[in-house]
Structures are given as structure tokens and as C-alpha cells.
Amino acid sequence: MKNKVAKPFLKWAGGKTQLIGEIEKNLPYEMMGHNFTYLEPFVGSGAVLFWMLNNFPKLEKAVICDINEDLINTYQVIASNPKELISTLYQFQNEYHSLETKEEEKKQYYYNKRDIYNLRQTDKIIQSALFIFLNRTCFNGLYRVNQKNVFNVPMGAYKMPTICDDVNLLAVSEVLKKVEIIHGDYEKSLEYAEKNSLFYFDPPYKPLSNTSSFNSYAKDVFDDNEQIRLRDFCSKLNILKHKWILSNSDVSGENTNNDFFDKIYDNFLIKRVKAKRSINANASRRGELNELLITNFNMILEYA
């Protein structure tokens, strides 16, 4: 397994694989040549996490945190019980693939698994297997819950999706050995910060329009007040001399008068970078758009 590079085990709306090149250009390399701690409080599919773990040998410890308990449970199960999880996923995969030509039975299988998942009464291994199964078979790999925390995404059109990538799951389990996996609000991550720490924040993005919101990863909405609370937390980290990077949507690209992020992060460095978006109800809004990378590098002494 040492030769296998771990990669995200989930499809994820807003995943950061397409942004890694820009993040790489904007890292504080002066601190990363020494032992450092990496903290990612909105971990999602972990694209940046796995890239960091695979590419920076001086990364001594990593901490991931997310408010989505089902997501965090899945990370914890992969870290501690990968073989049991793989066995369950293979069972789901074999059963689902056997219904390839039986469309109605296939639908019934999917919605039955979705109902079981939403009851949240199974053990952690089965619950995490259901989480991955739904992610691999639902529409667009979209994770969305309502205010009652009910996963409500319909079945996708995939014929024979890979539900169990055992090789990658074992590789992920291996790299997660140096990762502290925490369920909770992003502010909880501060408890795990060390002297030489780098935070990466990938919060639910501020919608570009009233119809483009895909930020329902948890039952509580991440609205403008939450965006400001996150800014306050970043300001606190700056005072404590921790380095951080934050990504978000460039709402000014949709409306040049919308300077929301330019105002609330006016004390920090804001860069506009290109990224691809593949999920949008409006096809014309898919493709390459500007996103924001905001950092406090070179500003810690000035504002501390």
C-alpha cells in the first residue's frame, strides 16, 4: 500500500481537486520545510487533505473537522475498520450491479438504502457504507440534506458505478493514521493547533445567485452571518499568529456591485483564481469561473 497514492473516496459538489494548483502556488513554504500541523475544518471529500498528506513529508500531524456527523463517521470507520467497511461495500456493489437490467428493482434498492441511512439506526460501519453507496449512486454524487437532516437526493443514472474502490480505501486508511478526526464546528479545530500550524478553510460557498446554492451539507444553513463568524475566527487565528488559506465564491463576478468578501476580508490578501464548476442548475453557469483564495500570509505581524 505504500506505493498507492490516497485520493478522495467521495464525489463532492465543490470538491477542491480543480483548485489544488492555485493553492499550491499560494502556500507558505517557509513554514512547511519544518515539522508543521495542517488543519482542515471543513474537510468535505478531503481533496486538499490527501494532496497535503501525499506531498509534504514534514507534515507531522493533520486535523480534520466537519459539522456533518455522517461524513466524519465515515472517515473514522475508514481509519479504524477499513476491511469490514470494504466487505459491506462489496455486498452492496454486487447486489446493485445484479439489478442492472431491472430498473424498477434497482430504484427500489436505492430508495430502500436511502431510507435505512436516514433512520440512522445501524452500526457505524454499515452507516458509513450506506453513506458511500449513496454518494456513488445518487444524482451527480450530490450530498444534500434538509433541515431535518434527511438526505433527499434522487437516484442517479449510473449503470455500473464503482461503489467499492478497495485499493483506494486501504490507501486512505493508511494516510489517516496521522490524522485527528473531529466532529464539530470549525472553531473546535483551534484546540488542536500547534505553534507551526496551517489552516485551510473550504466553507459552504456563498451562492452566486438565488438559484445556485449547493451548500446544504448539514441541516443548519451557512448564511452571511455564518460567513462573518468565520471571518472573525480567521481574524482570531491571525492574532494568534497561525497561518490560514480560505476559498470561497467570487460573488462579484456575478454582480460587480457585490463586494461582500472584499469588505469583510479587507484586512487580508484576496486573490481571484480560475476554477471549474460542474454542478449548477443553469448549464451556462458551469465551466470556468473565478473563485477567491484569501490568506493572512505576510500580514501576521502587521495585524497581530
DSSP label at residue 293: E
One-letter amino acid at 196 equals N
Q: Taking the domains of the chain in order of start, what are their residue ranges?
A: 19-61+184-295, 71-165
**pLDDT tens-digit profile of 103-127?**
999 999 999 999 999 999 999 999 9
Contact 62, 183 (CB under 8 A): no
**pLDDT tens-digit profile of 209-241?**
655 544 466 667 899 999 999 999 999 999 999
Q: Give pLDDT, residue 80.
A: 97
Contact 278, 286 (CB under 8 A): yes
The CATH number fitting domain 19-61+184-295, selected from 3.30.70.60, 3.40.1050.10, 3.40.50.1370, 3.40.50.150: 3.40.50.150
Rounded Cα distance between 244 and 28, Å, is: 9
Q: Give pLDDT, residue 217.
A: 61
Rounded Cα distance between 99 and 81, Å, is: 28
State the residue for C-alpha cell 470538491: 15
Overall average pLDDT of the 286-297 stretch: 84
Regarding beta strands 269-277 and 287-295, do their DSSP bridges make them parallel or antiparallel, or are they unpaired? Answer: antiparallel
Q: Which of 217, 219, 215 is nearest to 249 (CA)?
A: 215
pLDDT tops 60 at residue 288: yes
Contact 117, 131 (CB under 8 A): yes
The length of the chain is: 304
Q: Which of 95, 122, 89, 126 is nearest to 108 (CA)?
A: 95
DSSP label at residue 283: G
Q: Give pLDDT, residue 252.
A: 80
For 157-170, b/e burial (b = at least 16 CB within 10 A) is eeeebebbbeebbb
Sign, CA torsion 24/202/236/194: negative
pLDDT tops 70 at residue 250: yes
Q: Give pLDDT, residue 302.
A: 42
Annotated binding site for S-adenosyl-L-methionine: which residue ranges? 12, 16, 66, 202
Judged by DSSP in three states, 7 sits in: coil
State the residue for C-alpha cell 453557469: 285
Q: Across the chain, what does the average pLDDT equal?
A: 90
Annotated binding site: which residue ranges? 12, 16, 66, 202
Confidence of residue 287 (pLDDT cuts 50, 70, 90): low
Contact 295, 246 (CB under 8 A): yes
User: What is the pTM for the complete model shown?
Assistant: 0.91
CA distances from 25 to 14, 19, 20, 231, 244 (A): 20, 10, 9, 23, 14
Q: Which of 8, 23, 60 is nearest to 39 (CA)?
A: 60
Q: Give pLDDT, residue 218.
A: 67
- Are 19-61+184-295 and 71-165 in the same CATH fold? no
Overall average pLDDT of the 141-153 stretch: 92
pLDDT tops 90 at residue 300: no
One-letter amino acid at 185 equals D
User: The C-alpha cell of 141 is what?
Assistant: 454524487
Instruction: Of 4-8, 161-165, 280-284, give the lowest mean pLDDT range.
Output: 280-284
Regarding beta strands 197-201 and 269-277, do their DSSP bridges make them parallel or antiparallel, or are they unpaired? Answer: unpaired
**pLDDT tens-digit profile of 27-73?**
999 999 999 999 999 999 999 999 999 999 999 999 999 999 999 99
**pLDDT tens-digit profile of 171-201?**
999 999 999 999 999 999 999 999 999 999 9
User: Where does 71-165 sit in CATH, by number?
Assistant: 1.10.1020.10
Contact 132, 71 (CB under 8 A): no
Select the highest-mean-pLDDT range: 80-89, 218-227, 255-264, 289-298.
80-89
Q: Give pLDDT, residue 286.
A: 54
Rounded Cα distance between 1 and 173, Å, is: 10
Q: Which helix (H) or strand (E) holds 287?
A: strand 287-295
